[in-house]
Amino acid sequence: MSALGRHILAELYGCTPDFLNDIRGVEGIMVNAALEAGAEIREVAFHKFSPQGVSGVVVISESHLAIHTWPELGYAAVDVFTCGDCVDPWISCNYIKERFQAQNMTAREIKRGDFPCPVTHRPAVNL
């Protein structure tokens, strides 16, 4: 049985600070990253912090994209989690890296719901 989903945890370094502090810009990049990968958007929620930073999530039918930015460090933490075989999370990650003009990205993929054996349902035992 294959995994239920793929979860990319990405760290973006050396990003353009002004991009990371612009809530509408960050939201637009994240929404477009989902669309580029062929995801179906359900909801979008973003928040601008004072004095700086943006956090947000794009909920997609296939799961979600999330971001937290630290403009003062030129850094963004990004999660892209997709279920099924139709949406490639790496397309979204690479799109985000390019749009934030990141000098470096480290990322790792985690398989979610990668069951070691078939899941069986057993009746509860009363003791």
> How far is it, in rounded angstroms, from Cα 127 to Cα 30?
50
Which of 15, 63, 92, 93 is an active site residue? 63
- Catalytic (active site) residue 63: yes
Q: Answer whether 99's CB lies under 8 Å from 91's CB.
A: no
Is 68 part of the annotated catalytic residue set? Answer: yes
Residue 83 is a catalytic residue: yes
CB atoms within 10 A of CB 47: 10
- SS3 of residue 26 by DSSP: helix
Question: Which of 7, 15, 64, 83 is labelled catalytic?
Answer: 83
User: Which residues are designated catalytic?
Assistant: 63, 68, 83
